Structure 1
Amino acid sequence: MKLATFTAADQQFWGVVASNGMIALSPDFPKWKSLRNVIEAGAVQTVLDAAIGRPVTHAEGTFRWDIPVPDPEKIICVGVNFPDRNAEYKDGQDAPPNMSLFIRFPRSFVGHETPLTRPPETPQLDYEGEIAIVIGKGGRRIPEAEALSHIAGLTLCNEGTLRDWVRHAKFNVTQGKNWDGSGAMGPWLVPFTDPSQIADVHLQTRVNGDTRQDDRTGRMLFPVARQIAYISTFTTLVPGDIIVTGTPTGAGARFDPPVWLVPGDEIEIEADGIGILRNGVVDE
């Protein structure tokens, strides 16, 4: 079973995904306002069990998908985490010994089936297909050997980027990574129960049906366990935190000439065992 956050009639709910809609569970557990609170309480299995035998409360077409954890304390993204991505920079340097990191804000993401927003300030909207992990058990200086036990679930991310705005300054990419509605996350949260769910997963990005990114998590320069251990060295990870784990080669910026997203495009991010995240594009 999969958990999701969604909005219907201007009210946000969380619940379990069914084959023909949603089973809203948040009205039955008012003490847990969001899935972050469910995760904090260690109650994922409790709410999954509560959905057994329950009818659909919101049929397909009657709700909007939201990002699965709408109120994380922090979203930390890992950059340049596949071998070919490092080579794309053409600077002659080997992969660095430590990972590149940056922060995104929840407002920069929309849910499944909601279009990404291209702002009027620049046409250089690009895609980055990634797997995201949601922290279930917090901690500081988490040993790498124990790191995977701190994961609550997996979701997908289109880490949409405004390329020229990541070059507005010398040492940061924050501006190009945080435009409102420029990325997407979802559709749902797949509970994490086994290391094989992240060890060597096939990850693919398609734009209008054309495969643009295609790789496996087993080729990551910094595997997920290493990411959790490294990040928790300098900041305390808490339940509901999201780590976006890195994108393969093949983003639009790397074409010659670059190929930017335009209104009417459809982007699909797909990963084995997680699903498909699908979004269009509209102008602001």
Structure 2
Amino acid sequence: MKFATVSAGGQMIYGAIVDAGVIALSAEFPQWPSLREVIAAGGLPELEQAAQGRDVTHPEGAFTYEIPVPAPEKILCVGVNFPDRNAEYKDGSSQPKYMSLFPRFARSFTGHGQPLVRPPENHTLDYEGEVAIVIGKGGRRIKAEDAYDHIAALTLCNEGTIRDWVRHAKFNVTQGKNWDNSGSIGPWLVPFTDAAQLDDARIITRVNGEVRQNDVLSRMMFPIREEIAYISTFTTLVPGDIIITGTPTGAGARFDPPKYLVPGDIVEIEVAGIGTLRNTIEDEA
């Protein structure tokens, strides 16, 4: 079953997603104001049980998707995590010893079906399709072999980037990665139950129907188990934290000339077993 955070009638609610729409559940669980608290309590199975046999409360078209976990404490992104991405830099470097990391703020993401916003200051808005994991059981110095025990759910991310602004400083990319509503997370959470959901996953990114990215997570230089182990070495992971695991080659900046996103474009991130994250592009009002 899939679970999402949506806005309907001026309120933010959560519930189960079925073909016809949303089965709202948040009113029945006042002890869990958002999916973040549901995850912290290990409550996804209880939500699934509550949704069984229920009718849709909000049909398609009567709600808008929000990012699935509101206000996570941390969103950490792994950069340059596929061998072809490393080769794109043309610096002759082999696989690095340690992974590259940077933070993103929740405000920089919007939900499924909502527009990614291109700011007036710079038009080099680019896409990066990625799988995102949501931490369910917190911990510090988690062993790689135990890492999957700490994942509650999976979702998708378009880790939208203003490319020119990642070059504004010598040692970081934070400025280019945190423009309001420049990326998206969603559409929903899929509970994590089986290692094959990640180990065998293929991620595909399409722009206006054209495949731009197509790779499998098993080719990552730093597998997700290692990501959780490494990150939890220096910071305590808590329920609701999101790790955005890395994008394959094929982002718009790597074409000659670059293929940056423009208003009217449609970007889709697809992973079998999770779903399709779809967004349009528009200029900031």
Q: TM-score, normalised by structure 2?
A: 0.99
Q: Which amino acid aligns with 1:147?
A: A
Mapped partners of 2:269, 2:239: distance in 1: 25
Instruction: Say whether 1:215 aligns with 2:215.
Output: yes
* Residue 227 of structure 2: aligned partner: 227
Q: Name segments (4+ residues, structure 1) moved above 4 Å.
A: none
* 1:202 aligned onto 2:202: yes
Cα deviation for residue 247 of structure 1 reads 0.1
Deviation of 1:70 (Å)? 1.4
SS of residue matched to 2:76: strand
Question: Residue deviations 1:169-197, cap 9 Å, x none?
Answer: 00000000000000001000000001111
Q: Partner of 1:120 in structure 2? A: 120
Counterpart AA for 2:87: A
Counterpart of 2:258 in structure 1 is 258
SS in 2 for 1:269: strand
What is the distance in 2 between the residues matched to 1:58 and 1:255? 42
Q: Deviations over 1:122-175 (max 9, x none)?
A: 010000000000000000000000000100000000000000000000000000
- Normalised by the size of structure 1, how large is the TM-score? 0.99
Aligned to 1:44: 44
1:200 Cα deviation after fit: 2.1
Distance 2:8 2:84 in 1: 42
The Cα offsets for residues 58-80 of structure 1, whole Å up to 9 and x where unpaired, read as 01000000011011100000000
Q: Given residue 68 of structure 2, which amino acid in structure 1 is its aligned partner? A: P
Q: Does 1:191 align with 2:191?
A: yes
Structure 2 unpaired stretches of 5+? none
For 1:260, give the aligned amino acid. Answer: Y
- Which residue matches 2:144? 144
CA distance in 2, matches of 1:213, 1:19: 27
1:72-129 deviations in Å (ceiling 9; x for gaps):
1000000000000000000011110110000000000000000100000001000000
Aligned residues: 284
1:11 is matched with which residue?
11
* Cross-structure match for 1:282: 282
3-state SS of paired residue (1:257): coil
Quote the residue 1:272 is aligned against: 272
For residue 21 of structure 2, what is the amino acid of its counterpart?
G
**What is residue 173 of structure 1 aligned with on the other side?**
173
Q: Could you tell me which amino acid in structure 1 is paired with residue 73 of structure 2?
A: E
Matched residue, 1:88 = 88
SS of the residue aligned with 1:170?
A: coil
Match of 1:171, SS state, is coil
Corresponding residue number in structure 1 for 2:242? 242
- 2:32 maps to 1:61: no
| 3-state secondary structure, aligned to 1:280 | strand
Measured on the aligned residues, the alpha-carbon RMSD in Å equals 0.5
- In 1, distance between residues paired with 2:54 and 2:71? 27
Unaligned runs of 5+ in 1: none
Partner of 2:7, secondary structure, is strand
